Structure 1
Amino acid sequence: MTATTVTATANTRPTQTARSGWLHLCNGLDPVRDGGMVPSILGMTGALQRAGGDVRIVTSTPSRLDAATIAGGVAIAGPETNVAEAVGSAEVVHMHGLWQTHTRRGGRFAREARVPYVMATHGMTDPWALRHKAWKKKLYLTLVESRNLRRASCLHALSRPEIGHLRGLAPWAPVCFVPNGVDLAAFDDLPPRSVIEAEHPELKGKFVLLFFGRLHAKKGINLLAEAMRTLCPAFPELHVLIAGKDDGEWPAFADRVADAGLTDRMTYVGHVGGERARQVWAAADAFTLPSYSEGFSMAILEALACSLPCMFTTACHFSEAAQADAALVVEPRADAVTQALRNLLERSPAERAKLGANGRRLVESDYTWDQQADRLASVYRWLSGGGPSPDCVVS
């Protein structure tokens, strides 16, 4: 569908522009800096392209795409792009995240050009997230983001609790519920575990519990350290593998582990991506994410796609996994995390394999990117063409 709208750049008067395509705006595509939002955006836009969309990504900072998988046909432009022109020529704009330049400018340009826009906050409206650096976010919310959210054509919730978080900030804006997805093929035929064991022989013969994510305060890495203190002496075969960029929490975590005399029971490999990430997934016997706050974790979906038995917290907002007997889901408290991991370790290999198989089946059934792209495409077509709202629009 193509329409005509009046658009304006920062330096020119409004002109008549043909409107077409689905534009995604984000801060950048740097997996080291931007974390799970990068595979989320790339997976989402790639599937939308496969679904027949004309998709373009514009970033306000430079990207790092050397280890990223870019779907054919998805155009990516950097900070040199004239954002006002890009927004004004789009059929629908989809903005990702909060608190940054691309939403401040993108929301204003979309309203000026009368282009419908969607905002996906990726968990940034979660109460824990809003309490983190609270005064800065409250000020920016008052000056900028509240207007963007309230005037959005549609808000994009990745989890059911996020629907309520968004409604609290923008009570009258429609909300579509479209979770993240995963490309299953990327997690089939993983390399042999011996590949990473050759580099890290301490993993040989161990039960490897994988934490995959940024080492940020919200990820609950401190809860994992407390669980290790209790569980490592009781389970001599347990070894914890940590994969992810240090975002401020590594020194404290390493100190806690060292104080407990458990440094040799843990391996840290830093940020991984591409084939290196597949090697890390292949090394794991189980996965944990004891977070205090999440949007909708890509790492959880990837762990389920790998058929790994999983333990994560209610703050990950994925109760569907517990309902499908695909994961152990507990409150983000040290005692609850420790007991759930003990439960996982005490299960037989067959019981853990059943848990992992249920996880893979859940992803196959409801959480592939192609399924989510169909839902998002229906939202875009509704916003640009009218008619009844699609089933995934919940308010």
Structure 2
Amino acid sequence: MTATAMKSRSKSTTSPARGRWLHLCNGLDPVRDGGMVPSILGMTGALQRAGGDVRIVTPTPSRLDDLAPPEGLAIDGPDADLVAAVRAAEVVHMHGLWQAHSRRGAAAARASRVPYVMAAHGMAEPWALRHKRWKKALYLALVESRNLRRAACLHALSRPEIGHLRDLAPWAPVCFVPNGVDLAAFDDLPPRAALEAEHPELKGKFVLLFYGRVHAKKGLDLLARSMGALARDFPNLHLLIAGKDDGALAPFADRVSALGLNGRATYVGHVSGEKARRVWAAADAFTLPSYSEGFSMAILEALACSLPCVFTTACHFPEAARAGAAVVVEPEAEALTQALRDLMERSPGERGELGANGRRLVEADYTWDQQAGKLASVYRWLAGGGPPPECVIP
């Protein structure tokens, strides 16, 4: 490290309000990278509002389309010098595992004695580790284990993820800072008729929304079985699916066809920005029957929209059930079917109360500004020393 760099870093730690906080991620493409993109943008935007000097560097091109980045946020890539950016940083926060940006970023941070944080975003989940198991086991042994063990801090989005990270790096401190949401994005939604004009089959129906990547881990096989079991008793139940097809759409369509439900499901593909707001506005309820999640942005957004929710224990959000904001069940077809049946049999007022509880939960504990305050305290601790903040589990 040069004398100039050392002097610059020392000077930045004297101010608690500002610091060079570098975020590294594979890229910012909502179609390819899914919920990690709004998570990173929400997190960094709130950190910037809190007074942080924040920069994002990606080794692949970003394609935000109609997903607006926070105003004034520096986003560089793919031609940015990643190693130079790490050397100039006060703290580096890396998002995701098994990718080149974390391999290069962690190595550069160690060489330059820059403290770094690693967020797995669900990629340390047991289900995720079993997917391409041998390839990940080899990469873990050769590269990622060292990256995790040498991190100044690991970032868990859910309480179970604390244990999953500890399994990989037993002695590294872990900060527990969940995702958040910007509530204003889900206020004053457009009229339901905006999406019904494009999809008239939704008119007069009870619209159950699935929003997320159409991937095998998301439990669409369970959802198809549940729809088959409920279709006769609830003829107005209609499934709306929004998200990029990641290999699970064709198997789902085959199941739906075999059950004679071709007219009971609508797929609108990936949506973001105002298109996403139209989808949220058309929904009467939300479901995510996932087998594995980090901390779902879609669940937080559904709660922000005051939608009654049904999701699985694999989404790692028991707080929603305790707050009376969601029905949470095991990722099993019978359990999901019973939960959806129970939801459909409730009165509109009872479903409305469930949704209102969800909105209150997000307002109280899960805004981005609240989570950014916790992360900023972690960065200042890593840069300046002293006792760890309350959100850090040593």
Work out the CA distance in 2 between the residues paired with 1:301 and 1:82: 34
Work out the CA distance in 1 between the residues paired with 2:293 and 2:114: 30
Work out the CA distance in 2 between the residues paired with 1:197 and 1:94: 42
Mapped contact 2:57–2:80 kept (Cα < 8 A): yes
Mapped contact 1:286–1:308 kept (Cα < 8 A): yes
Could you tell me which of 8, 14, 18 is aligned with 2:8?
A: 18
Q: CA deviation at 1:65?
A: 1.6
- State the match for 1:66 in structure 2: 65
Letter of the structure 2 residue corresponding to residue 338 of structure 1: T
- State the match for 1:183 in structure 2: 182
Matched, 1:237 2:236: yes
Work out the CA distance in 2 between the residues paired with 1:226 and 1:89: 53
Q: Deviations over 1:179-232 (max 9, x none)?
A: 000000000000000011011110000000000000011101111001011011
Work out the CA distance in 1 between the residues paired with 2:220 and 2:193: 27
Mapped contact 1:295–1:317 kept (Cα < 8 A): yes
- State the match for 1:41 in structure 2: 40
Matched, 1:31 2:21: no
Letter of the structure 2 residue corresponding to residue 219 of structure 1: K
Q: CA deviation at 1:18?
A: 3.0
Matched, 1:164 2:154: no
Name the % identity: 76
* 1:1-395 equivalences in 2 (<5 Å): 5-6=1-2, 18-19=8-9, 20-395=19-394
Work out the CA distance in 2 between the residues paired with 1:64 and 1:353: 36
Letter of the structure 1 residue corresponding to residue 308 of structure 2: P
Work out the CA distance in 2 between the residues paired with 1:15 and 1:45: 24
Letter of the structure 1 residue corresponding to residue 165 of structure 2: L
Work out the CA distance in 2 between the residues paired with 1:17 and 1:78: 27
Letter of the structure 2 residue corresponding to residue 216 of structure 1: H
- State the match for 1:11 in structure 2: none
Q: CA deviation at 1:286?
A: 0.1
Letter of the structure 1 residue corresponding to residue 299 of structure 2: I
Q: CA deviation at 1:73?
A: 2.3
Q: CA deviation at 1:17?
A: 7.4
Q: CA deviation at 1:394?
A: 1.4
Residue segments in structure 2 that go unaligned for 5+ positions in a row? 10-18
Work out the CA distance in 2 between the residues paired with 1:66 and 1:126: 30
Q: CA deviation at 1:319?
A: 0.5
Q: Deviations over 1:227-273 (max 9, x none)?
A: 01101111001000000000000000001001111010000000000
Work out the CA distance in 1 between the residues paired with 2:6 and 2:325: 52
Q: CA deviation at 1:67?
A: 1.4
Mapped contact 1:6–1:113 kept (Cα < 8 A): no
Does the residue aligned with 1:280 lie in a helix, a strand or coil? helix
Q: Deviations over 1:61-98 (max 9, x none)?
A: 10002212211221000121111100000000000000
Does the residue aligned with 1:325 lie in a helix, a strand or coil? coil
Does the residue aligned with 1:304 lie in a helix, a strand or coil? helix
Letter of the structure 2 residue corresponding to residue 51 of structure 1: A
Letter of the structure 1 residue corresponding to residue 45 of structure 2: G
Residue segments in structure 1 that go unaligned for 5+ positions in a row? 8-13
Mapped contact 1:315–1:331 kept (Cα < 8 A): yes
TM superposition score normalised by structure 1: 0.96
Mapped contact 2:5–2:88 kept (Cα < 8 A): no
Work out the CA distance in 1 between the residues paired with 2:167 and 2:158: 15
Work out the CA distance in 2 between the residues paired with 1:26 and 1:96: 5
Mapped contact 2:28–2:63 kept (Cα < 8 A): yes
Work out the CA distance in 2 between the residues paired with 1:65 and 1:288: 25
Computed over aligned residues only, the root mean square deviation of the Cα atoms, in angstroms, reads 1.2
Letter of the structure 1 residue corresponding to residue 334 of structure 2: D
TM superposition score normalised by structure 2: 0.96
Work out the CA distance in 2 between the residues paired with 1:145 and 1:18: 30
Mapped contact 1:221–1:290 kept (Cα < 8 A): yes
Mapped contact 1:309–1:352 kept (Cα < 8 A): yes
Q: CA deviation at 1:342?
A: 0.6
